[in-house]
Chains A and B, each alone.
Chain A
Amino acid sequence: MAAAGNERFAKTHEWIRPEPSGVATVGISAYAVEALTDLVFMQLPAVGKRVQAGESIGEIESVKAVSDFYAPVAGEIVEVNTALPGKLETLAADPYGAGWIVRIKPDDPATLAGLLDASAYDALVKSQPH
């Protein structure tokens, strides 16, 4: 699944998408997943955890390195994708769909608007050296 179009992006390469239920789904961008080859391990946060924007909420480890991933907005973790750590290939296969990582109930849904939209994120990615 490609991005739905209403995702917002953090500079640290997480995407967040508001759902009709009022929670927001969080994952990592296709660009970031592509850079993270050879994934071997993933640690998810606990459901119920309260997080600040920019706080590390887990780690993804490849053969070469360990990377943190960060909460794009402040809120409460209400659901985690428990199927993901056992099937890390889903991250690359479907980063905006089945490869979602957590669902957050944002403290203030308006904070999503402060993140990058898809075209601004694309511009950021293109400005980075490969």
Chain B
Amino acid sequence: MTSLLKTPLAEWHAANGGRMVDFAGWSMPVQYGSIVVEHEATRRAAGLFDVSHMGRLLIDGPAAPAWLESLLTRRVEDLEPGRVRYTLVTSDEGESGCTVLDDALVAREADAAEGMPRFSLVVNASNRRRVVEWLERHLPAIGVTLVDRTFETAMLAVQGPLAIDIVCGLCSPDDARRIRALGTYRTTTATVADRSGAGHPAAVSRTGYTGEDGLELVVPATSAVAVWDAIHAAGVPRGLAACGLGARDTLRLEAGMPLYGHELTEATDPFAIGLGFAITLDQRDGGPRDFPGAAALRGMRDRLPRQVRVGLALDSKRAAREGSVVVRPGGGSVAVGTVTVGSVAVGTVTSGSFSPSLGHAVAMALVDRECSAVGESLEVLLRGEPVAARVVPLPLYRREPSE
């Protein structure tokens, strides 16, 4: 048995009923009690998530902007300090000429001394090693340094309508004002007070993976427990719950957010799954951008994909799971045993679960373009039995707009 990696919060999870599972080589809490309770706490008040398993890379140096610009699917050179963008990391390998290595958040941090540009890249735990290897392979001899900070830092997500309020209560009035004024996909730094009053430096971003407003904090590994404890203690009286990966998954599914390894894989056409916004093929002046896989992505942009990503609302509490077959009920279909013959397979479920917010099962699926229109009546085969599933818009759940 290979030993699992542990986040700085591992002992807290164990002491607080965290049910630990292997996730991408990390021992992570899937839930502390009920996934539904954790999910609802995040939608109603706030959820606190240990997401330290995500890879955190620091890239700096005078050549860093141009170098990242040459590798990522989003523009980087025009990122101002404090801005964050969702991007893909692609190579030009594979049958299509474009392999999606990961999806990531690239942030331009405040410049270091003497205007030295600094970036952070947050990548999936499951892809961290190969993204680091890919980047190292392309690293120029001078002008850029790349450091994997995953193990010297921790990352906490505080998500939900009260999340910003709870974190701001632990910051100085100045820092709190700056955090409240932070737009989505913006990042800043702040000092977070622990329960003894001691301050801990944190990179604070208005980002998340739940469909709720909220923050993600990167803190030194040695500060993780103190900062987590402070947020937990301040938040619990207001309805905050510590949440595991189970609730993180149901929340992101309702929010219609793709997950690498499910909706998004190496061979995915990003345009087919609604990630066209993450591919910038032109420069600001209209000229073509060049990065690994760009040529193949131009072809994908100009072609209609065979299958596209849709949301499905199922007529059951029983969930479709990844791999469940989606069929279009055919005229004159006949049931043979438990398998419906005569229906045409039109797609595959990529993620599915009971939706705590909606009270029935939902899914994301890749289905043939011809039957992807909202309102289309399809069926999902659950252990051979067809269950009615309607194509619905993504996201499956949208939070009430705040006033």
Query: Which residues does A use to contact B, with CB under 8 Å?
Result: 37-38, 40-41, 43, 59, 61-64, 66, 130
**Do B31 and A37 have beta carbons less than 8 Å apart?**
yes
Closest 3 CB pairs of A and B: A41-B318, A40-B354, A40-B317
A to B CB contacts below 8 Å, 20 in the list? A37-B34, A37-B35, A38-B34, A38-B35, A40-B317, A40-B319, A41-B316, A61-B317, A61-B318, A61-B319, A61-B354, A62-B35, A63-B35, A63-B354, A63-B356, A64-B30, A64-B31, A64-B35, A64-B246, A66-B321
Contacts of A66 in B (CB 8 A): 321
Tell me the bound Cα distance from A113 to B356 in angstroms: 42
A37 CA to B19 CA, complexed, in Å: 11
Kindly state the separation between the CA atoms of A38 and B355 in the bound complex, as whole angstroms: 11
Nearest A residue to B21 via CB reads A64
Chain A binding surface SS class: strand
Of residues 60 to 107 in B, which have CB atoms within 8 Å of A's CB atoms?
none
Task: Report B362 CB to chain A, min CB distance, Å.
Answer: 12
Which A residues lie within 8 Å of B343 (CB)?
A: none
Instruction: Kindly state whether residue B124 has any CB partner on chain A within 8 Å.
Output: no
Compute how far the CA of A48 lies from the CA of B318 in the bound complex, rounded to whole angstroms: 25
Instruction: Decide if B140 is an interface residue (CB 8 Å cutoff).
Output: no
Q: Which residues of B contact A64 (CB under 8 A)?
A: 30-31, 35, 246
For B35, the chain A residues whose CB sits under 8 A away are 37-38, 62-64
- Of A40, A59, A61, chain B has the most CB atoms within 10 Å of the CB of A40
C-alpha spacing A64/B351, complex, angstroms: 12
Report the interface size class on chain B. Answer: 10 to 19
Q: Specify which chain B residues have a CB less than 8 angstroms from the CB of A43 in the assembled complex.
A: 318
Q: Point out the residue from A37, A41, A59, A130 that lies within 8 Å of B317, measured CB to CB.
A: A41
The chain B residues found within 8 Å of chain A, CB to CB, are 19, 30-31, 33-36, 246, 250, 316-319, 321, 353-354, 356, 361, 383
Q: How close is A93's CB to chain B, nearest CB, in angstroms?
A: 14
Number of A-B residue pairs with CB-CB distance less than 8 Å in the complex they form: 39
Q: Which residues of B contact A38 (CB under 8 A)?
A: 34-36, 354
Question: In the bound complex, what is the Cα–Cα distance between A107 and B250 (angstroms)?
Answer: 44
A86 smallest CB distance to B (angstroms): 10
Residues of A within 8 A of B31 (CB): 37, 64
Once the chains are docked, how many angstroms separate the CA of A37 from the CA of B17?
13
Rounded to whole Å, the gap between the CB of A128 and the closest CB of chain B is 13
Residues from chain B with Cβ under 8 Å of A37 in the complex: 31, 33-35
B246 touches A63 (CB 8 A): yes
Q: Give bound CA distance, A62 to B31, whole Å.
A: 13
Residues of B within 8 A of A61 (CB): 317-319, 354
How many whole Å from A31's CB to the nearest CB in chain B?
14
Could you tell me if B33 and A63 are in contact, using CB atoms closer than 8 angstroms? no
Closest to A59 in B: B383
A40-B33 contact, Cβ under 8 Å, with A63-B356, A64-B246? no
| CB-defined contacts of B383 to chain A, threshold 8 Å | 59
Q: How far is A43 from B250 in the complex, measured between Cα atoms in Å?
A: 23
Output the nearest chain A residue to B30 by Cβ-Cβ distance.
Answer: A64
Q: Which residues of A contact B30 (CB under 8 A)?
A: 64
